[in-house]
């Protein structure tokens, strides 16, 4: 059985009171998607991020991790950075082929991941690097929304 292994544990960047940054490497199999969701939810539980932002981040990381397991078929690295009024999420893989947005056929259970990212993220993009790519997104944090979402 494959186990996910941490690259960097939860830490607060120097000079940034409430900020966090976490990264973790996951093996590129289907079980990693659920592990990535739990990793993000657990990391953000240590913050004052509103529930709606946490839920959106978990969903977007899940969609991007699923894309890696279905299309890139490599290991993946999940990164979350939360500071001030912005949450940044990234999923890196080691396949240089860029994702292709598509229109999902009616009744299909796949093909909507990037559309969800486009719809929920404040900004998003793809950075190519040596031998792979990183799909990233940002979410704006509205401090007037209670942390528990009520």
Supply the DSSP symbol for 2.
Answer: -
Q: Work out the pLDDT band at 138, boundaries 50, 70, 90.
A: very high
Averaged pLDDT of the chain = 82
Confidence (pLDDT) at 111: 56
User: How many residues are recorded in the chain?
Assistant: 150
**Where does residue 124 fall: left (phi above 0), alpha (psi -120 to 50 degrees), or beta otherwise?**
beta
Q: In whole angstroms, what is the distance from residue 36 CA to residue 121 CA?
A: 18
- Class of residue 84 by CB neighbours under 10 A (exposed 0-12, middle 13-18, buried 19+): exposed
pTM metric for this prediction: 0.82
Phi, psi of 149 (to 5 degrees): 80, 0
Share of the chain above pLDDT 90, in %: 53
Q: What is the residue whose two structure tokens read 């486009």?
A: 118
In order of 50, 59, 102, 118, 128, the CA distances from 55 in angstroms are 9, 6, 24, 16, 27
Share of the chain above pLDDT 70, in %: 77
Sorted by where each starts, the structural domains of the chain and their CATH numbers stand as 20-100+109-127 (3.30.565.10)
Q: In whole angstroms, what is the distance from residue 12 CA to residue 19 CA?
A: 6
What average pLDDT does this structure show over 116-136?
Answer: 91
């Amino acid at each position: 059985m494959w186990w996910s292994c941490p690259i960097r544990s939860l830490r607060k960047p120097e000079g940034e009171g409430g900020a966090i940054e976490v990264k973790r490497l996951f093996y590129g199999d289907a079980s990693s998607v659920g592990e990535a969701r739990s990793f993000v939810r657990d990391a953000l539980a240590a913050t004052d991020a509103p529930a709606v932002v946490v839920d959106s981040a978990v969903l977007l990381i899940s969609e991007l991790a699923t894309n890696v397991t279905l299309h890139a078929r490599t290991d993946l690295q999940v990164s979350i950075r939360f500071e001030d009024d912005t949450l940044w999420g990234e999923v890196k893989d080691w396949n240089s082929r860029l994702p292709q947005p598509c229109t999902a056929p009616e009744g299909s259970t796949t093909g909507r991941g990037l559309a969800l990212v486009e719809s929920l993220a404040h900004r998003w993009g793809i950075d190519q690097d040596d031998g792979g790519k990183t799909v990233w997104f940002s979410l704006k944090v509205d401090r007037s929304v209670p942390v528990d979402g009520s």
